Amino acid sequence: MSKSTLAIIAGISAAAGSAATAAILTSRSQRNESPTVTPTEGYPPRGNVATSTSPPPPKPAPLPTPLRKEITPPVNPTGVFQYGFPGPINDLRPNLSTASSFDRRTRNPHWVAEHITAASLCANNGNRSHSTFVEDESVPEKFRAKLHDYFRSGYDRGHQVPAADAKWSQDAIDQTFLLTNMCPQVGEGFNRDYWAHLEDFCRRLTNHYPSVRIITGPLYLPRRDAEDGKWRVSYEVIGNPPNVAVPTHFYKVIFAEDGKTGGDVSLGAFVLPNARISNEKPLESFEVPVEAIERASGLEFATKLPAQRRKKLCEQVTCSLLVRDYADRQKDLIGKAPPRRFPLPDRTS
């Protein structure tokens, strides 16, 4: 991951999100420009550029075939695997309401995926008041986040997949309270406010799209040191002993599907700082290319989605928040649909 990419994404904050997004787009266009390439001496240029009066270009001399001989190494580095594979281990965990990959080093997930529909959100067979936060015993004890790590830490146990998205089953909603679905999040002004409104926005997309898939996770992005101007990654670690990393940012990648086999998928990607954000801040100021999150996280999200099927989410609907208090969100999870940029096409055509 290049310094320019990290620097750009690190600039995404509550105060400068839109400027950073513009910088990312500019950087991408500059990187995609093809340099002028001149033919190598001794090789014909591409295309039919020779004239009738030009002598034929010389043929390149054949390269010598390298001599190969079998080498029997005197050592066996992989022999250490007989005592155990060092890793890394991703702890891939599919649940009823989530699928996730856990990062043992930070004690946070790499990513957590979910799938919501209008029908799943309308079902009301679970109640979060009957759920409790629990440690995930599928992760070895020495690597898992623990309940006492969050005690008096000053951070919320922030859901990556919200409990409200899994009310179709009590078991499903219970699984969203596993600590492998949590990261330390700033509470007031973020987890209980702007982040919750973003989750609400995702649910309201089901008014337009029959299927919405979301991947959420933490990021640890660099900041420029004010003294020497160098970029460094620095984050707090909570717990006793310190175990759980506090992410600097969080991302959401949204796949809004049109419901047709091989149909269009509207992609949206957002990076938000783990900090207080004013509800007046436009959501589109945190929009970034999916590729920017991939470079920052080391993950890939849409490698099998052809370009011809991709649409930009914020060009299809208005990416804006509807600020609602907690009680109103619980009464009506789907809420009011985000405005469309243009009329919805007939799904039956």
Just list the catalytic residues: 159
Q: Is the dihedral of CA 147, 150, 151, 157 positive or negative?
A: negative
Encoding tokens for residue 332?
A: 């009506």
Q: What is the DSSP string of 288-337?
A: --HHHHHHHHT--S-TTS-GGGEEEHHHHB--------HHHHHH-SS-SP
265-273/310-312 β-pairing: parallel
Distances (CA, A) of 241 to 29, 108, 137, 236: 45, 16, 19, 13
What is the C-alpha R_g of the chain?
25
182-185/265-273 β-pairing: unpaired
**DSSP code, position 185:** E
Residue type at 5 in one-letter notation: T
Distance (Å, whole) CA 111 – CA 218: 7
With H, G, I as helix, E, B as strand and everything else as coil, classify residue 76: coil
92-94/156-159 β-pairing: unpaired
In sequence order, the β-bridge partners of residue 317 are 340
Residue type at 111 in one-letter notation: W
- Helix H or strand E encompassing 271: strand 265-273
